Amino acid sequence: MAESNFVDYVRIFCRSGRGGAGSVHFRREKFVPKGGPDGGDGGRGGHVILRGNDQLWTLLHLKYKRHFFAGNGKPGGAQQSSGASGKDIVIEVPPGTVAKNAVTGEFILEITNHNEEKILLVGGRGGFGNTHFKSPTNQTPRYAQPGEPGAEAEIILELKILADVGLVGFPNAGKSTLLSVVTAAKPRIADYPFTTLVPNLGIVKYRHNYSFVMADIPGIIEGAHEGKGLGLRFLRHIERNSVLLFMIPCDSKNIAHEYDILVNELRCYNPELLHKKRVLAITKSDLLDEELTQEIKRNLPDIPWIFISSITGKGLDKLKDMLWNTLNS
């Protein structure tokens, strides 16, 4: 999909239906002139519902249709007939979508699975008909409840990519190249920073017909948690990855320092990201001889690490083993 078609943030306006009014009605038949109240209840207003759809991976379909109104409930009728409920409106979103109140920023709900449904805005309740208000001292109540009004709100929908492994690194660390080699994905690759402007997903085939999903996240720079670079726009995609694969080129001046910068950016954005499993890949290692390799090993951070080269294929099979074992440990 073209980068311009990748939409992971939209604002929509939703309104649930109002409830139908209860009925004021009295039973009147040929030989029952005073049959008492028999007004039915009003129907409930329609809900606004979010439903997961794994055939979607972007919010593009909501970019130009931003108003969603559910149907109103019908009023009650005679013979204690309840009014029809208003028609629900269902908004389909890709799994990994989070809904927030656009005014307060308050979290409302999250959709994580295919066909999962959650009510975003509840429809108003229908009013009681006058049959509910009869009593020995009030045998002919001439009133009923009106229906409750529906709710309305401006909603922010944010998509957080769901993947098993997320690639984390500075621009030009070799993330897109790795994804293109170990999966069938075809991300844009070039020798300048911020080549990747949207997350890319690929399926890594493993032994015995197993597989896992890998996500190439746009490069992080120092200060990303404050919005620098692509900043907050894509840091949220890392929240839904089970394992974080940190990628740092072997020609970096200080691999441990760059790793600490990346970890600090994740910590400042969301401290819970530090609880995720981490693996470090030293990329472009085809440029190293044995002496340089041993020198780099002495200063690596205390997490599982591996030297790889996406160009020559060095270490890629071992990397798959390491990621698979980490995912299933």
Q: What is the pLDDT of residue 233?
A: 57
Q: What is the pLDDT of residue 127?
A: 95
Q: What is the pLDDT of residue 234?
A: 61
Q: What count of residues does the chain have? A: 329
In angstroms, the CA 138 to CA 129 distance is 14
Q: What is the pLDDT of residue 289?
A: 85
Exposed, middle or buried, 103 (CB in 10 Å: 0-12/13-18/19+)? exposed
This model's pTM is above 0.75:
no
Q: What is the pLDDT of residue 194?
A: 43
In angstroms, the CA 3 to CA 187 distance is 10
Q: Tokens 């840091």 — which residue?
A: 235
Sign of CA dihedral 163, 168, 170, 176: negative
Q: Quick check: helix, strand or coil at residue 320?
A: helix
Domains recognised in the chain with CATH numbers? 1-159 (2.70.210.12), 163-327 (3.40.50.300)
Q: Which of 320, 168, 192, 321 is nearest to 258 (CA)?
A: 168
Per-residue pLDDT of the chain (329 residues; tens, 9 = 90+): 444 567 878 999 999 999 999 999 998 888 877 788 999 999 999 999 999 998 887 888 898 888 999 999 999 998 889 999 999 999 999 988 999 999 998 999 999 899 999 999 999 999 999 999 999 889 889 999 999 999 999 999 988 777 888 888 888 778 888 888 888 766 554 443 444 456 777 888 888 888 888 888 776 655 544 444 444 556 777 777 889 999 998 888 888 888 998 888 888 888 888 888 999 999 888 888 888 888 888 888 889 999 999 889 899 999 999 999 999 87
Phi, psi of 201 (to 5 degrees): -110, 145
Question: Can you list the alpha helix ranges (DSSP code H) found in 67-199?
Answer: 175-182
The upper half-sphere exposure of residue 158, i.e. CA atoms within 13 Å in the direction of its Cβ, equals 19
**Sheet harboring 107-111: ordered strands across?**
67-69, 9-15, 152-159, 97-101, 107-111
Neighbours of 254 (CB within 10 A): 11
Q: Which helix (H) or strand (E) holds 51?
A: strand 48-52
Q: What is the pLDDT of residue 24?
A: 94
Measure Cα distances from 277 to 26, 77, 103 in Å. 68, 60, 34
Question: Contact 284/308 with Cβ under 8 angstroms?
Answer: no
